[in-house]
Copies of this chain bind each other. A is one copy, B any other.
Amino acid sequence: MSWNTFGRSLRFTTWGESHGHAIGAVVDGCPPGVDLSEADIQPFLDARKPGQNKFTTQRKEPDEVRILSGVFEGKTTGTPISLLIENTDQRSKDYSEIANTYRPGHADYAYDAKYGFRDYRGGGRSSARETAMRVAAGAVARLVIPEVSILAYVAEIGGDAMDPANFDREEIARNPFWCPDADAAKRWEKLVDEARKAGSSLGAVVECVASGVPAGWGAPVYAKLDADLAAGMMSINAVKGVEIGDGFGAARLTGEENADPMRPGNDGPRFEANHAGGIAGGISTGQPVTCRVAFKPTSSIFTPVESITCDGEATEVRTKGRHDPCVGIRGTPVVEAMMALVLADHKLLHRGQCG
Contacts and interface: CB of A to CB of B under 8 A. Distances in A.
A159 B254 CA distance: 10
A42 interface: no
Given A3-B11, A203-B258, A256-B200, A114 B69 contact: no
A110 B26 contact: no
Contacts of A247: 240-241, 294
A352 interface: yes
Contacts of A214: 113
A1 B240 contact: no
A109 B230 CA distance: 22
Contacts of A279: 110
Interface residues of A, number: 155
A158 B248 CA distance: 11
A349 B350 contact: no
Nearest to A348: B352
A263 to B, nearest CB: 6
Given A68-B24, A248-B248, A251-B296, A109 B215 contact: yes
Nearest to A307: B262
Contact of A261 (B113, B229, B306): B306
Interface string A53-93: 00000000000001011101001011111100000000000
Interface in A144-175: 156, 158-159
Nearest to A350: B114
A130 interface: yes
Nearest to A286: B113
A254 B285 contact: no
A182 interface: no
A244 B66 CA distance: 36
A247 B228 CA distance: 18
A343 interface: no
A272 B252 CA distance: 32
Interface string A235-276: 101001111111110111111111111111100110010011
Given A240-B248, A255-B299, A2 B13 contact: no
A329 interface: no
A167 B237 CA distance: 32
10 smallest CB-CB distances across A and B, nearest first, come from: A107-B281, A352-B352, A203-B251, A113-B215, A201-B255, A241-B247, A110-B283, A231-B231, A230-B234, A159-B252
6 contacts: A13-B26, A22-B68, A78-B114, A109-B285, A241-B247, A259-B305
Given A111-B283, A114-B283, A261-B307, 10 more contacts: A3-B223, A4-B220, A104-B262, A107-B280, A107-B283, A195-B255, A228-B231, A231-B234, A234-B244, A248-B248
